[in-house]
Structure 1
């Protein structure tokens, strides 16, 4: 997955979002249920803004006291 380019307009499906954030798809669903991320489309499979996913991941890391992605 490439994280270059204009991520404010890049949309990811659930699996792509999970891969980019280094989490499972279940975590993406949890973030959605908790209101941390919101899909941009109203119909079909959910799509998420890349920047929203990366911000949610960063906030989760900061709350957990981690400063970098786990390998």
Structure 2
């Protein structure tokens, strides 16, 4: 699925999916023309990893 199709599944905007690719949190599974395609399971995994990092960095000892 495209970034535009995957984004609503994890409640983000498509630009966030593209940013995850730039940051190395998510790798495209393929391409359709100029668009990257993603597996939904990879998008969910990236979303969990990003939110886990955010949550861990906010913790107060």
* Corresponding residue to 1:47 among 37, 40, 46: 37
Q: 1:29: Cα distance to partner?
A: 0.9
In proportion to residue count, which structure has more helix? 2
Question: TM-score, structure 1 length as denominator?
Answer: 0.66
Mark the structure with the bigger radius of gyration. 2
Q: 1:41: Cα distance to partner?
A: 1.5
Distance of 2:37 and 2:18 partners within structure 1: 12
Which segments of 5 or more consecutive residues in structure 2 lack a partner in the other structure? Answer: 57-61
Runs of 4+ in 1 over 2 A off after TM superposition: none
What is the aligned length? 55
1:28-69 CA distance string (max 9 Å, x none): 111011121111224512110111100010111112228xxx
Which segments of 5 or more consecutive residues in structure 1 lack a partner in the other structure? Answer: 1-11, 67-71
Question: TM-score, structure 2 length as denominator?
Answer: 0.75
Q: What is the root-mean-square deviation of aligned Cα atoms in Å?
A: 1.7
